[in-house]
Amino acid sequence: MLRTANYSLDCPLWPDHPNQCKTILIVQRFFSSLSLIGCLFIITFIWLFRMYKYFVQRLILFLSISAALSSISFLIGDLYTDHNMCEFQAFIMQYFGWATLLWVVAITINILLVMRNIQSSKYERWFHLFCWGSSLIWATLPFIGNNYGPAGVWCWIKRDATAMRFGTWYIPIFLVIIFLLLAYLKILLFGLQQNGRWSGTYNAENEHSKSMLAKEVKPLAAFPLIYFILSIPPLIYRIDDFTHPHLFPNYTLMVFSVISAPSVGALNAIAFAFYSELLKQLTWEQVKSSFLSHFSSSSTRITHNVEVMDSLPESEYRQEISE
Give the C-alpha separation, 323 to 321, whole Å: 5
**CATH at 97:** 1.20.1070.10
pLDDT tens digits in sequence order for the chain, 323 residues long: 333 333 344 677 777 777 888 888 888 889 999 999 999 999 998 888 888 888 888 999 999 999 999 999 888 866 556 677 888 989 999 999 999 999 999 999 998 888 888 888 889 999 999 999 999 999 999 999 899 988 777 788 887 888 898 899 888 988 988 898 898 888 888 777 766 665 555 555 555 555 555 566 676 778 888 888 888 888 888 778 777 767 777 888 888 888 988 888 888 888 887 776 666 667 777 777 777 888 775 544 444 443 433 333 333 333 333 34
| Residues paired with residue 301 on neighbouring β-strands, in sequence order | 308
- How many other C-beta atoms can be found within 10 angstroms of the C-beta atom of residue 130? 16
Cα four-point dihedral sign 157, 161, 167, 172: positive
- What phi-psi label fits residue 296: left (phi over 0), alpha (psi between -120 and 50 degrees) or beta? beta
Residue 302 is assigned to a structural domain of this protein:
no
3-state SS class at 309? strand
Q: Is 36 exposed, middle or buried (0-12, 13-18, 19+ CB in 10 A)?
A: buried
Contact between 145 and 161 (Cβ < 8 Å)? yes
Question: Residue 82, CB half-sphere, CA atoms under 13 Å: how many?
Answer: 1
The strand pairing partners of 307, in sequence order, are 302
For 106, list phi and psi in degrees, rounded to 5: -60, -40
In a domain, 297, yes or no: no
Looking at the domain assignment, is residue 106 inside a domain?
Answer: yes
Is residue 126 a part of any domain in this protein? Answer: yes
Q: Residue 46 sits in which domain range?
A: 24-282
Full-model pTM: 0.79
* pLDDT, tens only, 95-121: 999 999 999 999 999 988 888 888 888
Is residue 314 domain-resident? no
**Total number of domains constituting the chain:** 1
Give the C-alpha separation, 293 to 196, whole Å.
43
User: Distance (Å, rounded) from C-alpha 107 to C-alpha 64?
Assistant: 12
